[in-house]
Amino acid sequence: MEKILDIIEAIAHEKNITKDHAIEAFKEALINTAKKLTSQSSTFEVVIDPSSKTYQIHKVITVVKDGDASLQTEPDSYISLSEAKDFDDTIELGDQLKEEFILENYGRTASSNLFRELEYHVQRRIEQDLFEKYKKKINTIMIGIVNRIDAEDNTYVEIGELKGVLTLRNRIKGEKFKQGDTIKALLRYVSVDPHYGLFLELTRTSPKFLEQLMAKEVPEIADGVVEIVAAARIPGERAKIALKTDQMNVDPIGAAVGVKGVRINAVSHELNGENIDCIEYSPIPEIYITRALSPAITQSIKADHAAKKALVNITSDQKAKAIGKNGINIRLASMLTGYTIELNEVEGMVDRQQESAADTAETGKTTDISALADLFK
């Protein structure tokens, strides 16, 4: 079996695994084959010479003190000190005696065993490489083609070398897929199943999926100029996303929405028409909660930062907006901020006409410079 490394390199290239992993698989196959030809309690090591591209198998026997329990449990791997000294007086405890094991001496039995072992361990290395490859892609968007849909409405998606599974609970309500459709989904995790083998679990309902879609549509988010602080979703209905930036000349909301809403509309379209509210993050919880409850206008907020609870005073005409249809708005605000929000109805009405008039008056005051005329006479 000279130049065996050339064969191993060819296998690595054919199976698309690294050379190091192919060599590891070959070593394990040699050791397991040697054990099958002798005994499972034997210990072997494999030495590979890269220059000559050959290998050697050594049977290893460790010297232990007389009466050691391992002499009974693994007699082929250990030898007592007194027995070892019969061969060499210089031997000490812990020394290892090595004897070359010639695999070729066992003929066709060795060859067939080695082939089966090598095939098994190479396949394990292929699966390990795929597992590590896709593990690094967790929480990123995967694109695949629908292969089939089973009786339980689970959607199977072909993604590269593996198969992805999009279960019914990970699908947006109302979505329907058919064989041949190209879909986008977030890689939730990589799993190994005794029946299906290595597969990818996908989701389209996670808030992370919304964040990744936003990053693909908004260059400022992808570049890190605008940061997504948090996102909350009720899949297929409504979502809220909190944004911030450290650059004074960048409007995070404007960047996310895009000109005439083109960016946010593209994300909404991918999410089956899900309405997306973008709000500007604030490190002050009271301001953050106020923005999260928009479009409702609050009167005042008292927040318990330790208990993560907030009491919001709100007028009767704004209460319905704060709650939202089926409680969606207040649920999303709570999910986004991490605070349990309680509404307290107070007397009064929000007069938008008065607010508008006040804003106009304030604008008039700040733009009227006639009072400064005397300074320039």
Structure confidence at residue 73 (pLDDT): 83
Q: To the nearest 10°, report the CA torsion of 90, 92, 96, 101.
A: 40
How many whole angstroms separate alpha carbon 217 and alpha carbon 73? 64
Q: Which positions of the chain have pLDDT values less than 50?
A: 1, 353-367, 371-372, 375-377
Spell out a b/e string for 199-218, using b for 16 or more CB atoms within 10 Å of the CB, else e.
Answer: bbbbbbbbbbbbbbbbbbbb
Structure confidence at residue 128 (pLDDT): 85
How many whole angstroms separate alpha carbon 152 and alpha carbon 194? 19
How many whole angstroms separate alpha carbon 83 and alpha carbon 92? 11
For residue range 145-166, what is the model confidence (pLDDT) as tens digits?
A: 999 998 888 999 999 888 899 9
Structure confidence at residue 3 (pLDDT): 66
How many whole angstroms separate alpha carbon 68 and alpha carbon 64? 7
Structure confidence at residue 350 (pLDDT): 66
For residue range 154-205, what is the model confidence (pLDDT) as tens digits?
A: 999 999 888 899 999 999 988 889 999 999 999 999 988 776 678 899 999 9
- pTM here is 0.73
Structure confidence at residue 351 (pLDDT): 60
Q: What is the DSSP letter of 313?
A: E
Q: Hey, which residues does 14 pair with through a beta bridge?
A: none
Spell out a b/e string for 142-161, using b for 16 or more CB atoms within 10 Å of the CB, else e.
Answer: bebebeebeeeeebbbebee
Question: Packing angle between helix 328-337 and helix 316-323, nearest 10 degrees?
Answer: 70
Helices (H) and strands (E) in the chain, counts: 13, 15
